[in-house]
Amino acid sequence: MSTSAMCARTHSTESKVDMQFSVSRGLLPMMLAASLTCLGLGANAQPAGLLYDPEPPLDSAYVRVVLASRDGVVDVRVDGRPRIQKLGAGEASEYMVLAAGQHTLSVHPAGKPKAYLSTTLDVVRGRAMTVAFPALQVDTLPVVFEDKANSNKLKALVAVYHLDAKAGPLDVLTADGNTKVFSAVTYGVAASIQVNPISTELIATKAGEKAPKARTTLTMTQGGTYSILLLPGDGRKLNARATQNKIERYTGK
């Protein structure tokens, strides 16, 4: 990919950035669907017989979980209620729609009632949050990021999340090494940029170097939001995974 293709962007190295998911109570469900499209979050199809799903409440917040541990497949409960099933190692869930305020999030072995761990979150109305678990131990604290919305319908928004504590600072470049997309990202930090919506192969390297430690491919569309997860892999190797951000289908239940 050419340098010019990736350079039309806005670069942010902040790990906590606002993501405004403003929803007007008086709008039709059609308008809600349009607004979610603008945020770049794909939604699941509606069941037969329903033209539109209910719109989320005005005080909704959006939370997803990343399993940065390689310890197994997990289920996630919020306030004791099952919300995410069979999340695999290195995977990001869809964004859950939650009421603003305090919630207890617990991580369980898939299909088992006893939790590995639990944590309390304060979620803010109109914002989105990524909660990453680097290990499945009782005393493990999650790494929490506030996520940014895509404000430009003609661009794609790409965010990188550094979740490998042993990898050191990392750069992300195009596979030819000619374009640096992210620079010296440290563990527990996220950075985001707006780019032209193209398909490209990316590499993660030690900061200042060009030898690839991990590779991933990203296919983007206008208005979409995407994540690059830099994760611990097998044999202490770095793993890179690209994913499109999506929101769960809200049913009002």
Q: Which two tokens stand for residue 50?
A: 């329903």
pLDDT value, residue 30 = 42
pLDDT at 44: 54
Pair 145, 215: CB distance under 8 Å:
no
Q: What is the mean pLDDT of each run of 10 residues along the chain (253 residues)?
A: 45 39 40 47 54 85 97 96 97 98 98 96 97 95 96 97 98 97 98 97 97 98 98 93 96 78
What's the pLDDT at 84?
98
Residue 34 pLDDT: 44
- Give the pLDDT score at 41: 62
Long-range contact pairs involving 48-54 (C-beta distance under 8 Å, separation at least 24): 52/28, 53/29, 53/249, 53/250, 53/251, 53/252, 54/29, 54/250, 54/251, 54/252
pLDDT of residue 50: 64
What is the reported pTM? 0.81
pLDDT of residue 55: 87
Q: Residue 51's pLDDT is what? A: 74
Phi and psi, residue 131, nearest 5°: -115, 110
Beta strand 74-78 with 101-109: parallel, antiparallel or unpaired?
Answer: antiparallel
